[in-house]
Amino acid sequence: MEKKEMLYEGKAKKVFATDQEGQYLVQYKDDATAFNGQKKGQIEDKGIINNKLSVLFFKELEKAGVPTHFIELLSDREMLVKKLKMLPLEVVVRNIAAGSLAKRLGTEEGVVLARPVVELYYKDDALGDPFVNESHALAMGWATAEELKEVQALGLKVNEVLQKIMDQAGILVVDFKLEFGLADGKIVLGDEISPDTCRFWDKETKEKLDKDRFRRDLGKVEEAYVEVYRRVKEILA
């Protein structure tokens, strides 16, 4: 496999073309942003941890019947993935109130939800990724009814798989964000699953082990990423 030209640079990753038809190379950066890019920084070795952690999760999800874009781990910071036609949506699944849900509904962070909540956001930086519903997505042609049903069902399936792994690691899965795309007409999970895109709290102490440490200037940011990776590796590797 040959790495070709860079096709896209996002806030946390770069995507490269390859000489393989329908396959991209994703390279994970240490760059961290928050609040739609207004806060910028670096988290040392985050790219390595997010790449390897995503691989561990993707493999486990595939075993559980969730199709993912993951093909092969290439290096510390690089994985080979299937080329997807991305839906312009972020699918957020929540088990415990935190972040924007706590704010929107006026609940305290940490309130356990009676059932998982699935939310949709329209992926558009200029608009700040607004909260939308299914009828917006249908009316704007962002996805079909079948695709929306599928991404929500897969979101809940991912939640079950992640909760089972993280419970063994002594970690609560508070919430997380997924992005899906289409390959050969089939819905496939793309992007990453990492402390950048999930809220993880220590089960005992409720200590935050995710990007909220960076967003909220809580310190020990690198340490949190390393700790999550160490615990998950112990369970899965």
Contacts to ligand TMP by CB under 6 A: 92, 98-101, 129, 175-177, 197-199
Distance CA 58, CA 52 (A): 10
CB of 55 to ligand TMP, least distance (A): 18
Nearer to ligand TMP, 63 or 115 (CB): 115
With b for 16 or more beta-carbon neighbours within 10 A and e for fewer, the 25-56 pattern comes to: bbbbbbbbbbeeeeeeeebeebbbbbbbbbbb
Nearer to ligand TMP, 27 or 194 (CB): 194
Nearer to ligand TMP, 36 or 144 (CB): 36
Which of helix, strand or coil describes residue 190? Answer: coil
Residue 106 gets the label, from left (phi > 0), alpha (psi -120 to 50) or beta, of: left
CB of 83 to ligand TMP, least distance (A): 22
Nearer to ligand TMP, 18 or 214 (CB): 214
Residue in the shown chain whose Cβ atom is closest to ligand TMP: 99
Nearer to ligand TMP, 3 or 14 (CB): 14
Secondary-structure percent of the chain, ordered helix, strand, coil, rounded to 5: 35, 35, 30
| Nearest CA-CA partner of 92 in 103, 104, 100 | 100
CB of 33 to ligand TMP, least distance (A): 9
DSSP state of 235: H
